Structure 1
Amino acid sequence: MKTKITLLNKTYEFNSLKEILAKANEEKSGDQLAGIAANDAQERLAARHLLADLTLSDIRNNPVLPPEEDEVSRVIEESINEKIYQSIANWTVSDLRENLLAESTANQEISRIRRGLTSEMVAAAAKIMSNLDLIQAASKIEVVTQCNYPVGHKGTLAGRAQPNHPTDSIQGIRASLYEALSYGIGDAVIGINPVIDSAESVKQILQMTKEEIDRFQIPTQNCVLAHVTTQMRAIKNGAPSDLLFQSLAGTEAGNTAFGISVGLLDEANDLIQKEGTATGPNLWYFETGQGSELSSDAHHGIDQVTLEARCYGLAKKYKPFIVNTVVGFIGPEYLYNSKQVIRAGLEDHFMGKLQGIPMGVDVCYTNHMKADQNDMENLAVLLGSAGVNFLIGVPMADDCMLNYQSTSFHDIASVRRVLGLRPAPFFEKWLEKMGIMENGILTKRAGDPTLFI
């Protein structure tokens, strides 16, 4: 594997693939915090030149975290289709990029190629792509999944209704949910982040959302985003849960910090398959986000984009219904400003889709980050153009429980309108029945939550 290059009369030598991947990355404050970022733009360019010329076999034969040391690496390695891998092993990373962007390469061919790729190969391709490259390649990929109802069809944009409440008030959550539904949001999932991580509280929220789904015959699914072990206890106590949720990291140590392991996820998967209330077959909801591994000193010197790609390599083992990166949630330690957030959102969406993940994005930022709502609206439109499966909707784009800024219910409706996108098919028919939408356009009744009172 070539690790040395001369560029503009200066020779650069890197110690490993791990270092090349890190220094080829777009500027990220998290990589700088970890001490693994390129020193300047010229070193970044040198690393990219090297990376572009590496073969896919170079990447597989030089693992950033060996499978014998990490269970996430083992999951990724075990998922590879050897026949397909052998057919592309001699491609360079540049060849992979060119194939993905070629006009003749459609969704079916990308679906075949992905079965021979490791997550590190996917991350490598992202690092030598421009923002427009990431949009163009991802826009070709369709990943349709089904919990109770399907989402992910081309030409659609679903929304997760996130009616959080600072005290888990059932009435408060219900009121916020009505507003979401009135704007046509909730086809991806009705998903609540609880304040109280107890099985009883989770059960109460699940029961309420299931009652509302049944009452209004809403074609969607419910989920409460507590720790997976809390959800498991709630389900065993009779809670009506369509989906199981869990945050993922890209290393075994990172997942240990989250209180999970592959063994635990396997156990939870068996439970939701047997006792969940959805028809399936896709019964998982995962969240990720660049930088989480560094927070728990579980990054092993690997850059945050590569680690994020590995999250999706783990997620696909469980055939999830939806996955989203919470792109700017952690803060400026990992993504300093709007430029870094926008880049990360496009990277994450592309890397998830290329690995067959039904990818959404929480287009968000924290208040101590150099970003504002205009930046989030820009990213939402870019992701809509890229074919993102779903976005997150919170009242007025301001989550009163998690204390961060996201996209509002009406923001998602606006992105649909501007880009000519529709809700998920069954959900659109329901919106028409309720008088909220007609021919893909919101009616005068939209935005009025009293429709449900």
Structure 2
Amino acid sequence: MTVYSTTLGGEVFRFDGLARLMAAATPERSGDQLAGIAAGSAVERVAAQVALAEVPLRAFLDEPLVPYEADEVTRMILDTHDVAAFAPVAGMTVGGFRDWLLSERVLPDRLARLAKGVTPEMAAAVSKLMRNRDLIAVARKCRVQTAFRTTLGLPGRMGSRLQPNHPADDLAGIAAATLDGLLYGVGDAVIGVNPASDSVATATELLHMLDGLRDRHGIPAQTCVLTHVTNTLEMIEAGAPVDLVFQSVAGTQAANDGFGVTLAMLEEARQAALSLGRGTVGQNVMYLETGQGSALSAGAHHGVDQQTLEARAQAVARHIDPLIVNTVVGFIGPEYLYDGKQILRAGLEDHFTGKLMGLPMGVDVCYTNHAEADQDDMDVLMTCLGTAGVHFLIAVPGADDVMLNYQSLAFHDIAYMRETMGLRAAPEYEAWLEAVGLVEDGRLLPEGAAARRLLAS
């Protein structure tokens, strides 16, 4: 184990190993404090950041933060590392990498070629040396394009997930919420329901309803019931109309065991969905969800800070070529991200590391009711993410998810983002919105005859 040290203000600070150094360098958050791995003071945090800036990027290939022999996520990260893509930055330190990323000469095409050469630990490390505006500036330069029935990630576009959850999985209630979201132009990334029940029969019924609604109105969007991957495999085998396979993933094997999922299982599900051939403009068939604190809450963090583990969860997602990935940034609660400031920082970090590694990264801009946060904090985060080029955002009726009992964005927040920032829906979806009279030249119109017909049908 390498010992890292630096002197600051006449005091010598020592950090035993990369994991300890990374944790101490992380901006303040309650999850790392709960785990007992956070810096003991602001001075120690700055000292750790100074020391981290001098660490060669190659060190993350030589000193795994989670043991190679004990963790399939570590093995996947190292065994699939793209050495050729890494070559342009292989001689850099973490600090040098930061300066290079922020350089005006580093443009989107260079970042796209680099993506598979960046390990999650490298991405997390460089983020710890960045201010919020740095995270925004670099993420904005990272371009990632994916497709199924819509093409996502194009310049000047921002996707959205329509999330019409219902506490009793009531079909009429979910259909009504879906139509409400459609009137605001939401849903081009996915129309996705979190079922209240674990029942495969219920998930299948929901899936048939959503697919029927999509087919009846000719909506060029993908649908998804966010049930466990094993349930989705069962639905595929039974002939259900599965577009996307969903699964929550974490950054360690032990945490994924808690989710009841393995890398092999995810690949099996991807192949099963690909065999259906339901995409029209592309065949990215996976939808993955991550979130800081999941490994710690499962007691499976190996002494690694939660932001680095989030980046490792993103590496799991990258491994299976997803259509969309999102972090549920404030969903796990104040034990992991205490207040609006921590949620804002975590959301920008998660988006940055995902985009840097080549992921179609979205964010559920959200918080729980017992966190020290409010909708004003979410307004700031969503606006920052729009500036940063977020792949998609999630919206629910009235910003209040009545099934999962947390606060997110509302449908009209998506309209605000597109109107204020000059962003548009995916081109295939925008064409449909124009055809039914909801949008003109990318701008949402007041409800007209076509919209009323859509509701009536």
TM-score, structure 1 as length reference: 0.98
**Greater mean deviation of Cα atoms: 85-94 or 423-432:** 85-94
Alpha carbons of structure 1 residues 173 and 449: separation in structure 2 relative to 1, 3 Å: farther
Contact 2:277/2:283 (CA < 8 Å) preserved in 1?
no
Contact 1:182/1:449 (CA < 8 Å) preserved in 2?
no
3-state SS, counterpart of residue 302 of structure 1: coil
Cross-structure match for 1:437:
439
Distance 1:234 1:400 in 2: 26
Could you tell me which of 369, 379, 399 is aligned with 1:377? 379
Distance 2:453 2:411 in 1: 16
Amino acid at match of 1:150: T
Cross-structure match for 2:38:
37
Paired residues, number: 453
Could you tell me which of 284, 289, 292 is aligned with 1:290? 292
Cross-structure match for 1:394:
396
State how 1:186-205 maps to structure 2 within 5 Å: 186-205=187-206
Q: In the alignment, does 2:337 pair up with 1:349? A: no
State how 1:37-76 maps to structure 2 within 5 Å: 37-76=38-77
TM-aligned CA deviation for residue 314 of structure 1: 1.0
Cross-structure match for 1:335:
337
Instruction: For residues 352-410 of structure 1, give each alpha carbon's deviation from its aligned partner in whole angstroms, at most 9, with x where no partner exists.
Output: 00010000000000000000011111100000000001000100000010000000000
State how 1:44-443 maps to structure 2 within 5 Å: 44-275=45-276, 277-279=278-280, 280-443=282-445
Distance 2:32 2:18 in 1: 15
Amino acid at match of 1:137: V
Contact 2:436/2:451 (CA < 8 Å) preserved in 1?
no
Contact 2:438/2:451 (CA < 8 Å) preserved in 1?
no
Contact 1:243/1:278 (CA < 8 Å) preserved in 2?
no
TM-aligned CA deviation for residue 275 of structure 1: 3.2
Contact 1:28/1:336 (CA < 8 Å) preserved in 2?
yes
Contact 1:56/1:121 (CA < 8 Å) preserved in 2?
yes
Contact 1:331/1:369 (CA < 8 Å) preserved in 2?
yes
Distance 2:392 2:89 in 1: 31
TM-aligned CA deviation for residue 334 of structure 1: 0.1
Alpha carbons of structure 1 residues 310 and 57: separation in structure 2 relative to 1, 3 Å: same
Distance 2:217 2:67 in 1: 51
TM-aligned CA deviation for residue 46 of structure 1: 0.4
Instruction: For residues 233-265 of structure 1, give each alpha carbon's deviation from its aligned partner in whole angstroms, at most 9, with x where no partner exists.
Output: 112112101000000000000000000011211
Where do 5+ consecutive residues of structure 1 fail to align? none
Cross-structure match for 1:9:
10
Contact 1:17/1:62 (CA < 8 Å) preserved in 2?
yes
3-state SS, counterpart of residue 229 of structure 1: helix
Cross-structure match for 2:455:
452
TM-aligned CA deviation for residue 293 of structure 1: 0.3
Alpha carbons of structure 1 residues 89 and 427: separation in structure 2 relative to 1, 3 Å: same
Where do 5+ consecutive residues of structure 2 fail to align? none
Contact 2:368/2:407 (CA < 8 Å) preserved in 1?
yes
Output the aligned Cα RMSD.
Answer: 1.3
Instruction: For residues 167-189 of structure 1, give each alpha carbon's deviation from its aligned partner in whole angstroms, at most 9, with x where no partner exists.
Output: 10111100000000000000000
TM-aligned CA deviation for residue 341 of structure 1: 0.2
Amino acid at match of 2:318: K
Q: Work out the percentage of aligned pairs sharing the same amino acid.
A: 50
Distance 1:373 1:66 in 2: 40
Distance 1:272 1:326 in 2: 24
